[in-house]
Amino acid sequence: MSVMKNSNFRDWKLEDVERTFDVVQVSKLPVLEELLSYEYQPNQFEEYNLKKLQNNYVEHGGDDWNEFELENKIISPIIVASEIDNKKFAYFLERELSTIIGDYDLSGKVDGMIATGFRSPRMPYFCMNEYKRGTDPYGDPRGQTLIAMLVAQKINDNQKPIYGSYIIGRNWYFMVLEGNKYAISNDFSCVDDEIFDIFRILKSLRVQIEKLL
């Protein structure tokens, strides 16, 4: 009889997640392509707000912010501005996720999560992991995001794709896990016009999650 292993999300590297849980990275997934290809043109107010957040990052040393400063000064403001929150699901911060997969009792605190629920999350559909500046990361943001996505997938009875994102300083990456396959987007920088792509993809995320409900 196998012994259950307790493990925190912070312990996982990408290659360990792949080897332990038999997940495979692919270059493309249709569900990720759909997320990334959504079209949205920000209105004048949204464009002004995004430019203001961008300028604050550039002019006040954003590349050297710690993870709490990144979260509060640019990540959450962009996500909140995309109007993710609604009556069906919402954006939650620093919430716990846990489940058992195989011989592992997996648990951890997710930096950001989009899940059904009002005051507390119930069914997760998106997991986000943020990291301080890219020159000094601790651990593996890809692995930690993917393991949280696997937990979310298990909570969803493996029936639906799970979205994710990890952010290293100025660079945002988007992920999708479907079955035992996952894909990662190219990076999107918040310090140039790609900030509008980040915003557009977050708008798309709400649309894609609504389709799953």
* Tens-place pLDDT, residues 141-196: 999 999 999 999 999 988 899 999 999 999 999 999 999 999 999 999 999 999 99
- Tell me the pLDDT tens digit for each residue of 73-109: 999 999 999 999 998 999 999 999 999 999 999 999 9
- Tell me the pLDDT tens digit for each residue of 107-137: 999 999 999 988 889 999 999 998 866 544 5
Query: What mean pLDDT, rounded, does the chain reach?
Result: 93
pLDDT at 1 over 70: no
198, two tokens = 């980040």
Spatial contact of 209 and 126, defined as CB atoms under 8 Å apart: yes
Chain-centre distance for alpha carbon 30: 18
Best CA proximity match to 144, nearest among 167, 121, 124: 167
pLDDT for residue 3: 78
pLDDT grade, residue 35 (50/70/90)?
very high
pLDDT for residue 131: 81
Residue reference for tokens 């943001």 = 141
Q: Is residue 110 classed exposed, middle or buried when 0-12, 13-18 and 19+ CB atoms within 10 A define those classes?
A: buried
Q: Which residues contact 147 (CB under 8 A, 6 or more apart)?
A: 9, 12, 17, 106, 108
Question: What is the pairing mode between strands 104-116 and 89-101?
Answer: antiparallel
Q: How far apart are CA 119 and CA 147, in angstroms?
A: 24
Total H helices, total E strands in the chain: 7, 9
Query: Would you identify the CATH topology of the domain 5-212?
Result: tt1808, chain A (3.90.1570)
Q: What are phi and psi of 106, to 5 degrees?
A: -100, 135
pTM for the structure as a whole = 0.94
Spatial contact of 91 and 80, defined as CB atoms under 8 Å apart: yes
Q: Which residues contact 61 (CB under 8 A, 6 or more apart)?
A: none
